Amino acid sequence: MIVVGIATAVTIIYLETRPKPVHVERRLAGQEENVSQNGRVQYAPAVAIDPTRPGILLGGSSDSLFDTRVYTSSDGGRSWRSKPGPPLLRGTCDIDTPAVAIAGGGREVYAFGATQFCDLPEPKLHVAVRSGPSGRWRVRALLPVAGYAKDDHFALASLGRRVWLAWSRRPQQLSRTLVGYLAVSNDGGTTWSQPRRLPVAQPYSLSLAASPSGGLYVAAADGDNNRVVVLRSPDGGKSFARARPLADLDTPFDEGCEGAFLPPQSQFCLPPSVHVVVDEGGRVDVAWADVEANRTDGLRLAQLSPTLRVLLPPRRLGPADRAPSDQFDPSLAVDRSDGTLWACYMDTFGDPYRHEAWPTCTLSHDGGGRWAPPVRVALVGSDETQTAANQRGYGSTALAAADGVAHVLWTDTRQIFERSEEIYAARVPERALRFTPRAGAFAPAEASRARSRA
């Protein structure tokens, strides 16, 4: 009896303490590809699509050898070319998070920060412009200053040949102050207006969107009030109405942690990653990430009228967690061909330890009221908690959509020991999300896996 009792106790202890398996439950959709193909660290992708030639895409990311990289596709995301970023003598500090846009006439704009010394990084904003995928980059500094300045949180938007660029600047090394700026170009990025200050006290996450009528919208995380705000400029950025508060953020702003320390990215905080888009009817959609009541990260979406009247108050984007999981780094895009609203993000759903994350996408045909069941767009998940991982985490997801196809880019760790982090892209047709799985269904067996972690 004693032996049986001991055996029973050992069995119970084993069942309670054994590693929990990872279950890949989301259906796989789209066609993925390694777009960086480089053995150095790449993270924080950005992407833009040519508004008149949707087969042309421009991407960018941080790069630990050349500071930044450029990705181009001329066949609608079926294949990509990877090259070092715009030429400029600078330190390769692996801290840059570039932004990209394509203006009228196919002019490509690439915004990035450049710093001379990595031991005291002070990246200052530079803008590179070229005539198209095969053009030569021309680089210039924007709002240059002598002495210390740290520029970050770059955001671009375009409408025709007009391009808007927003960013935040820390003007002094020991200062906790962030100042938001906005500059406008009317010739596809060749020349720029004198930057104006944005009326946001402490912007540490920024996004821009232009309406078809020429209005400009700015969404930001305001660290002074710990809230998400939206601003509207009816005259293309010359003036702004009073900021519209959308929601309070659960985690207070801290210059050393622009977000929340959570399991998926334990070495670097998960930021709110505020993102704004405007549809053809002028409705303004804003998405962001924030900590929920169960202390996991979740996504929020709100919809506003062109004059910032609330149409849909902030609500959860995506299904509720069946078990604790994190959704973070959201990005939005509107397909102008049919008005479809896309959302992509990183999601730990399926990993009980919330370490492994999959790029995940969903869409809405009614402006964000109802959403298709989410699908994962990568066969395998990524894990930024590994010892070999880049300490700055994933950086972002990036999303563009046109003609019934979404293009999503993310930071991928599947070959981290051989090639470090790389940028992957997936081409996701809208029809791939029309399939509705039966309740409780898992992904197909050939695309699923269960892996235990010690």
Return the CATH number at 74. 2.120.10.10
Mean pLDDT for the stretch of residues 147-169: 95
Asked, for residue 447, whether it belongs to a domain, the answer is: no
Q: For 287-291, what is the mean pLDDT?
A: 95
Instruction: Collect all residues with Cβ–Cβ distance below 8 Å to 450 and sequence separation of at least 6.
Output: 21, 22, 23, 24
d(CA 29, CA 49): 21
Average pLDDT of span 67-88: 95
Considering only CA atoms, which of 296, 289, 301, 258 is closest in space to residue 97? 258
pLDDT value at 14 more than 60: no
On whether the CB atoms of residues 23 and 349 are closer than 8 A, the answer is: no
For residue 243, name the pLDDT band (cuts at 50, 70, 90).
very high
Tens of pLDDT, residue by residue over 311-339, are: 999 999 988 888 899 999 999 999 999 99
- Strands 356-364 and 382-383 turn out to be antiparallel
pLDDT tens digits, one per residue of 207-235: 999 999 899 999 999 999 999 999 999 99
- pLDDT score of 69 more than 80: yes
Of the pLDDT bands very low, low, confident and very high (cuts 50, 70, 90), residue 195 is very high
238 pLDDT higher than 70: yes
pLDDT band at 399 (very low <50, low <70, confident <90, very high): very high
Q: Which of 67-71, 161-165, 384-388 has the highest mean pLDDT?
A: 161-165
Return the closest-CA partner of residue 57 out of 409, 411, 429, 431.
Answer: 409
For residue range 88-115, what is the model confidence (pLDDT) as tens digits? 877 777 677 999 999 999 999 999 998 8
Q: What is the pLDDT of residue 19?
A: 59
Asked, for residue 73, whether it belongs to a domain, the answer is yes
Please say if the pLDDT value at position 148 is more than 60: yes
With the CA atoms of 223, 385, 388 and 412 taken in that order, what torsion angle do they form, in degrees rounded to the nearest 10?
-80
pLDDT score of 386: 85
What pLDDT band is residue 268 in, cutting at 50, 70 and 90?
A: confident
Output the CA angle 364-273-377, nearest 5 degrees.
50
pLDDT at position 385: 87
Q: Which structural domain range is residue 91 located in? A: 25-436
Residue 9 maps to a domain: no
Is the pLDDT assigned to residue 254 strictly greater than 90?
Answer: no
Tens of pLDDT, residue by residue over 426-438, are 999 999 997 554 4
How many CB atoms sit inside 10 A of residue 421's CB?
29
pLDDT at 306 over 50: yes
Mean residue pLDDT of the chain comes to: 88
More confident residue, 189 or 270: 189
Residue type, 14: Y
Residues 6+ apart with CB under 8 A from 220: 180, 198, 200, 203, 205, 206, 207, 228, 229, 230, 231, 274
Residue 95 confidence (pLDDT):
72
- Percentage, residues of the chain above pLDDT 70: 90
Express each pLDDT in 114-145 by its tens digit. 888 776 778 899 999 999 999 999 999 999 98
What pLDDT does 2 receive?
60
Asked if the structure places residue 445 within a domain, the reply is no
Amino acid at 126: H
**pLDDT confidence of residue 444:** 36
Residue 192 structure tokens? 């720029």
Check if the beta carbon of residue 233 is closer than 8 Å to that of residue 215: yes
* Residue 446 placed within a domain: no
| Continuous H helices in 75-224 | none
Residue 257 lies in a domain: yes
Token reading at 391 = 């300490």
Region 148-170 average pLDDT: 95
Q: Is the pLDDT of residue 442 over 50?
A: no
In whole angstroms, how far apart are CA 201 and each of 11, 207, 226, 287, 383?
A: 58, 15, 10, 20, 34
Paired tokens of 219:
């969404």
Domain count, the chain: 1
Any domain includes 132: yes
- Centre a 10 Å sphere on the Cβ of residue 146 and count the other Cβ atoms it contains: 5
For residue 269, give both structure tokens: 């905080």
What pLDDT was estimated at residue 5? 53
Q: What is the reported pLDDT for 443? A: 36
Q: Is the pLDDT of residue 158 over 70?
A: yes
* pLDDT for residue 308 is more than 50: yes
Does 206 map to a domain? yes
Which of 399, 267, 242 lies closest to 335 in space, CA to CA?
399
